[in-house]
A and B are shown apart, each in its own frame.
Chain A
Amino acid sequence: DVKVTQSSRYLVKRTGEKVFLECVQDMDHENMFWYRQDPGLGLRLIYFSYDVKMKEKGDIPEGYSVSREKKERFSLILESASTNQTSMYLCASSPPMGETQYFGPGTRLLVL
């Protein structure tokens, strides 16, 4: 079974803090994704990566950056957290194009 893990289930941070969300997958997948999920909006793609050190912006990249130094690990960085970044963050991975994405359990982030 594919396993995608996220470093925290719940996080509480202060406005202006730098926040790191970590995601690890164990299936040697090329592609990894970060989404945020908000009520009534579904999932919106923040960034994705199709190879080590490669990244592309998704639909809502503003205020976020990412890092992929190893194939199995994809990090989402909030450079200076703001209250409007309070959300559920979901990581996913997939084999090459068009294939199924497998999701982690999510990190619920509260920015005060």
Chain B
Amino acid sequence: AQSVTQPDIHITVSEGASLELRCNYSYGATPYLFWYVQSPGQGLQLLLKYFSGDTLVQGIKGFEAEFKRSQSSFNLRKPSVHWSDAAEYFCAVGGDDYKLSFGAGTTVTVRA
């Protein structure tokens, strides 16, 4: 069965500092990997996705993620955080069926 672990429940970062959110997955074959963001009271918005090819993926809002098969990881990064990046972030894994499995989420707080 597929699964996702997001080791950090909550991260606080200063505005302008870099951000890295960790994601480890378990899947028997080549996975499809996603990062979503959820602002308070809202649904989930796709930040980026990895299906195949280049292991460094660029997304919206200046985010990027790197797929590392050897480490079963898909960590999300942003070089310089803005106050509007305060949100909850979810990593998800899927495969050759219809379903995604989501991590428990990481809440990001941005301090001025």
Which residues of A pack against B, CB within 8 Å?
Answer: 4, 31, 33, 35, 40-45, 48, 50, 58, 90, 92, 94, 97-98, 100-106
Contacts and interface: CB of A to CB of B under 8 A. Distances in A.
Contact of A98 (B42, B51, B103): B51
A102 B102 contact: no
Interface size grouping (class) on chain B? 20 to 34
A100 B102 CA distance: 13
Interface of B: 4, 9, 32, 34, 36, 41-46, 49, 51, 90, 94-100, 102-105
Dominant secondary structure of chain B at its interface with chain A:
loop
A105 B42 contact: yes
A58 B97 CA distance: 13
A105 B34 CA distance: 18
Given A100-B46, A102-B46, A104-B43, A42 B94 contact: no
A48 B42 contact: no
A98 B90 contact: no
Contacts of B44: 43, 90, 92, 103
A31 B94 CA distance: 14
A40 B10 CA distance: 11
B32 A98 contact: yes
Contact of B95 (A31, A98, A101, A104): A98
Contacts of B49: 100
B99 A58 contact: yes
Given A92-B44, A105-B42, 14 more contacts: A4-B43, A35-B102, A40-B104, A42-B90, A42-B103, A45-B99, A48-B99, A58-B99, A97-B96, A97-B98, A98-B97, A103-B36, A103-B44, A104-B43
Given A40-B9, A41-B104, A103-B43, A48 B98 contact: yes
